[in-house]
Amino acid sequence: QVQLAESGGRLVQSGGSLRLSCAASGRTSHLYVMGWFRQAPGTEREFLGTINSSGSSTYYATSVKGRFTISRDNAKNMVYLQMNNLKPEDTAIYYCAAAALWEYEASRYDYWGQGTQVTVSS
């Protein structure tokens, strides 16, 4: 079992930056692939990116590539999402998730946090 808890979401102005954190608990949390997703009202959950268990490899959706960066610190059981040059369309609830294998689809992730709200004002 892995428990995940996101934090760091808040109101930020367009063009600003924000770092979200995801705290993972559970003895094997460092073995999981971690992903970040977001969901805006009335839309499906959107894949943003993923990082492998060691942190040596990442992959990003086209919509955020070059603006968002995922990292992890296994010693602290933490995963991060650094977001730069934020736009109003980035407004959503942001989720971290854990999967046993490298995955891009939300349905393939096994564990989810409760989400943290990010609002970008124009």
Q: What are the tokens at 110?
A: 């096994």
Residues sharing a CB contact under 8 Å with residue 91, sequence separation 6 or more, in sequence order: 40, 118, 119, 120
Sign of the torsion formed by the C-alpha atoms of 103, 51, 19 and 97: positive
Give me 103's structure tokens. 């995955």
| b/e per residue 40-72 (b: at least 16 CB within 10 A) | eeeeebbbbbbbebeeeebbbbeebeeebbbeb
Tokens 């369309």 locate to 89
Segment 48-58, tens digit of pLDDT: 999 999 999 99
User: Which residue's structure tokens are 């949390």?
Assistant: 29
pLDDT band at 85 (very low <50, low <70, confident <90, very high): very high
Confidence of residue 68 (pLDDT cuts 50, 70, 90): very high
Encode pLDDT of 3-47 as tens digits: 999 999 999 999 999 999 999 998 787 889 999 999 999 999 999
**Mean of pLDDT over the chain:** 96
